């Protein structure tokens, strides 16, 4: 395992989110802070807000929210395994999308025949 670098006294929230791989780039994490997608201890956070160990960071990303508790401060980006030791993820599991009862055709099976198409329409309820 790679050693975790020494922890600075304080670090900006946008730099920490980038360092623990919540966002791909530092500019993306800064933009998320500006857009109001990042909350620090329940209140909206500016990109320049400083973090301390024990803070709770809530990040809204593509339809769901991640809740991260800061265990260690990082100023530089590290590997994924090392980054995972620097926060505790309190994100609730996402609900599963309901499976549609539509038939699935095998890949490479070709174009459906008229009989196949009528059967698919009957099962989906689009046709009598």
Transcribe 32-56 into DSSP letters: HHHHT-EEETTEE--TTPEE-TT-E
Query: Is the confidence at residue 19, as pLDDT, over 90?
Result: yes
DSSP-derived letter for residue 76 is S
Highest mean pLDDT among 1-10, 30-39, 110-119: 30-39
Q: Where are the beta strands (DSSP E) in the chain?
A: 11-12, 38-40, 43-44, 50-51, 56-61, 64-70, 87-89
pLDDT (0 to 100) of residue 18: 94
Q: Model's pTM, two decimal places?
A: 0.70
CATH superfamily to which 11-89 belongs: RNA-binding S4 domain (3.10.290.10)
Please tell me the distance from the alpha carbon of residue 3 to that of residue 18, in angstroms, as a whole number: 19
Instruction: With H, G, I as helix, E, B as strand and everything else as coil, classify residue 28.
Output: helix
Q: What is the pLDDT of residues 64-116, one digit of tens each?
A: 889 999 999 988 998 989 999 999 999 888 777 666 666 677 888 888 899 98
pLDDT (0 to 100) of residue 33: 93
CA angle centred on 33, ends 4 and 45, rounded to 5°: 85
Higher pLDDT, 122 or 104: 122
Instruction: With H, G, I as helix, E, B as strand and everything else as coil, classify residue 57.
Output: strand
CA dihedral (13, 17, 20, 22) in degrees, to 10, reads: 160
pLDDT (0 to 100) of residue 101: 61
Per-domain residue ranges for the chain? 11-89
pLDDT (0 to 100) of residue 36: 92
Mean pLDDT of 12-22: 93
pLDDT (0 to 100) of residue 126: 72
Mean pLDDT of 47-55: 91
């Amino acid at each position: 395992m790679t050693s975790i670098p020494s922890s600075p006294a304080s670090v900006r929230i946008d730099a920490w989110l980038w360092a623990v791989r919540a966002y791909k780039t530092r500019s993306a994490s800064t933009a998320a802070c500006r857009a109001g997608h990042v909350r620090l201890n329940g209140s909206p956070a500016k990109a320049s807000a400083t973090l301390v160990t024990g803070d709770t960071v809530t990040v809204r990303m593509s339809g769901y929210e991640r809740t991260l508790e800061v265990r260690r401060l990082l100023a530089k980006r590290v590997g994924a395994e090392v980054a995972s030791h620097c926060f505790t993820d309190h994100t609730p599991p996402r609900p599963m999308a309901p499976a549609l009862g539509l038939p699935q055709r095998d890949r490479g099976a070709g174009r459906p025949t008229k009989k196949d198409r009528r059967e698919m329409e009957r099962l989906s309820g689009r046709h009598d």
